[in-house]
Amino acid sequence: MNFQTIFNQKLPQVEALAPGRVNLLGEHTDYNDGFVLPTAIPQQTVVQIGLSDDGFYHFYSENLDERVDMVEESFRAGEMQEEYARYIFGCIQVLKEVGYTISPINLYVKSSVPLGSGLSSSAALEVATIRGIRQLFNLPINDVEIAQFAQKAEIQYAHVQCGIMDQMASSLADTEHMLFLDTRTLERRVLPLPEGAKIVVIDSGVPRTLTGSGYNQRRTECTQAAQLLGVKALRDITDVSLVETLPEPLQRRARHVVTENNRVLEALQNVETRHVSSLQRFGELMNASHASLRDDYEVSVPALDILVDILQKTPGVFGARLTGAGFGGATVALVAAGEEKNIAEKVLEQYNHAGYTGNVLVGA
């Protein structure tokens, strides 16, 4: 199947793409106005778009082999069941809400970003969609605005109370650098990866969906914690001892966010100053991040903990943690440059021998 056969058109008028992302440090901090350190991954989502000639919106997912044909009124009435189409139509709606005219389109999507692995397949779809629409209709929006529209679409139409990190990473990051982002001010810096290191990403084989997980609950708990502490967001607390006054589980949730923000800022300082032990320390910070996500934020699962433990005990691995929202998905490790493939194969063999079915996504 291709665009021409699905929509009976000669060729798409535009093609746009956007990468998935992996987050090295700063998990569950973005919706707390905090700090993050993501990087793009090689896998991308590609959309091809042409104008529809029958007044209907037509979407097709090559990965899912699903087609949606509908008018705008049906979407507004809540009749759309296909999840991927909600993201696409949500992007169209948020652009219309600010006054842009978006005529009905045919949109064909295919992606190499794994679904349910915590690598932001949804953000890649949103950013690629808005990039394509920007090109087709010549909209005067920049890459930061694309990320903001994409986040709004996910919150309002996919009903995931996400922060801005995934969309900003998909819109602005590349695979050779880290993107430091202050999610409150959108101040950002492009930084090199720690010298002598590469990234390995391994999917645990345990899929997750944010709408069906405790993701929105964690966000609510953070809001409650911030209110009890009298601050706008947990980002405004830098002294971790201040959270000890909170009741459980808010105390543990807040402790993770405060310490995670501090880990990102320490890593940033070490990389920027080229601290001699920055690579080793970066790995230690990743290990501490996983422990915090597991114990204080409680978003890990046994498969992730086993995979991370194998990684952390493997020679040549500086640090490892779950990446993404948790509740399943993938792990990320910082490893010695040149050893990525060897390490990934060894770790995957041990993990699968333990009864799981993993998959190397980056570093094979």
* 76 band by pLDDT with thresholds 50, 70 and 90: low
Kindly name the residue from 30, 33, 166, 203 that is annotated as catalytic: 166
pLDDT at 71: 84
pLDDT at 70: 87
List, for residues 190-232, the tens digit of each pLDDT value.
Answer: 998 888 999 999 999 998 765 556 888 999 999 999 999 999 9
Bridge partners (DSSP) of residue 191 are: 178
Task: Answer whether residue 169 shows pLDDT above 90.
Answer: yes
Rounded Cα distance between 162 and 170, Å, is: 14
Task: Answer whether residue 35 shows pLDDT above 90.
Answer: yes
Instruction: Return mean pLDDT, the chain.
Output: 93
Task: Answer whether residue 275 shows pLDDT above 90.
Answer: no
Average confidence (pLDDT) over 26-52: 96
pLDDT at 214: 85
Domains with residue ranges and CATH for the chain: 3-189 (3.30.230.10), 193-362 (3.30.70.890)
pLDDT at 209: 62
pLDDT at 79: 60
List, for residues 117-151, the tens digit of each pLDDT value.
Answer: 888 899 999 999 999 999 999 999 999 999 999 99
pLDDT at 160: 82
Average confidence (pLDDT) over 154-164: 87
E-only strand ranges, the chain: 14-25, 35-51, 57-61, 66-70, 105-111, 177-182, 188-192, 197-203, 317-323, 330-336, 359-362
pLDDT at 161: 81
Catalytic residue list contains 166: yes
Percentage above 70 pLDDT, the chain: 96
Rounded Cα distance between 47 and 110, Å, is: 7
To the nearest 10°, the Cα dihedral for 280, 281, 286, 289?
150
* 272 band by pLDDT with thresholds 50, 70 and 90: confident
Task: Answer whether residue 72 shows pLDDT above 90.
Answer: no
Rounded Cα distance between 30 and 46, Å, is: 26
Of the two residues 10 and 284, the one the predictor is more confident about is 284
Of the two residues 319 and 82, the one the predictor is more confident about is 319
Rounded Cα distance between 309 and 297, Å, is: 18
pLDDT at 280: 93
pLDDT at 248: 97
List, for residues 293-305, the tens digit of each pLDDT value.
Answer: 999 999 999 999 9
* 116 band by pLDDT with thresholds 50, 70 and 90: confident
Non-local CB neighbours of 291 within 8 Å, separated by 6+ positions: none
Rounded Cα distance between 105 and 14, Å, is: 11
Cβ–Cβ < 8 Å for 271, 194: yes
* 153 band by pLDDT with thresholds 50, 70 and 90: very high
Per-position b or e across 245-278, b if 16+ CB within 10 A of its CB: ebeeebbbbbbbbbbbbbbbbbbbebbeeebeeb
